[in-house]
């Protein structure tokens, strides 16, 4: 609202001052730190089913793929076979949130997940709306609370931080600001303590 009023003042000359100049902006909420447990993943997978001809199963399969690659939901549903090189194990994303294309390295598990899919194009054969609705349906049916599809990105980045150095990780997930990784990195102090020994 303040930005609109600034344009009205500076560019259009409609108002002489921005009445929101002295209003304090609300603080940003704390970043989420929700990671799915193995039990929750198993329960959601059971409720989604294993038949990948079924859209509900593919929605959970997409979640697993995001857990493996740290790709956003929009990047996953937009993935087409002509942008995947299984031999080189790379997925090319032409359109990303920050507007820059990037190549995502694929683990052997990510390749296995892709190879298990029926032949559809786009790869997962889902719209953004379908992915959201079907994932939430399986999650709710499994009795899993407070888990979002985007939590797969937190899960992936936390896991990948153990395998990749910080620059490689930032490049893989498309962060140009390394501080953004701290938003997604949710390793517990207990797990870090084990690695110190």
Domain boundaries, the chain: 38-188
91: Cα separation from own chain's centroid: 15
Q: Over the stretch 30-79, which tens digit does the pLDDT of each residue have?
A: 777 889 999 999 999 999 999 999 999 999 999 999 999 999 999 999 99
Q: How many angstroms separate the CA atoms of 185 and 180, rounded?
A: 9
What pLDDT is stored for residue 169 in this prediction?
Answer: 86
Average pLDDT over residues 99-107: 90
Lowest-pLDDT range of 142-146, 171-175, 177-181: 177-181
Lowest-pLDDT range of 26-35, 74-83, 186-195: 186-195
Does domain 38-188 match CATH 1.10.443.10? yes
Tokens describing residue 176:
């140009």
Q: Which residues are catalytic?
A: 72, 97, 175, 184
DSSP the chain: -HHHHHHHHHTS---SS-TTTTSPPPPPPPPP-----HHHHHHHHHHH-S-TTSHHHHHHHHHHHHHHH---HHHHHT--GGGEETTTTEEEESS-TTS--EEEE--HHHHHHHHTS-S-SSTT---HHHHHHHHHHHHHHTT--S--TTHHHHHHHHHHTTTS-HHHHHHHHT-SSTHHHHHH----HHHHHHHH-
Kindly report the pTM of this predicted structure. 0.80
Q: How many angstroms separate the CA atoms of 39 and 149, rounded?
A: 16
Q: How many angstroms separate the CA atoms of 143 and 157, rounded?
A: 25
Q: CA separation (Å) from 21 to 5, 8, 12?
A: 10, 13, 18
């Amino acid at each position: 609202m303040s930005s609109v009023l600034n344009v009205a003042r500076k560019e259009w000359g409609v108002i002489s001052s921005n009445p929101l100049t002295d209003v304090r902006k609300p603080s940003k909420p704390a970043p989420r730190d929700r990671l799915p447990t193995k039990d929750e993943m198993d329960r959601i997978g059971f409720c989604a089913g294993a038949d990948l001809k079924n859209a509900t199963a593919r929605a959970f399969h997409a979640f697993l793929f995001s857990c493996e690659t740290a790709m956003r939901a929009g990047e996953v549903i937009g993935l087409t076979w002509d942008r995947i090189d299984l031999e080189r194990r790379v997925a090319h994303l032409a359109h990303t949130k920050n507007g820059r294309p990037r190549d995502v390295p694929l683990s052997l598990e990510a390749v296995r997940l892709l190879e298990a899919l029926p032949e559809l194009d786009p790869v997962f054969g889902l719209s953004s709306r379908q992915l959201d609705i079907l994932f939430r349906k399986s999650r709710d049916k499994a009795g899993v609370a407070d888990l979002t599809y985007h939590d797969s990105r937190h899960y992936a980045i936390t896991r990948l931080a153990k395998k990749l150095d910080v620059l490689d990780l930032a490049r893989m997930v498309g962060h140009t600001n390394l501080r953004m990784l701290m938003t997604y990195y949710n390793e517990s102090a207990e797990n870090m303590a084990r690695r110190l020994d």
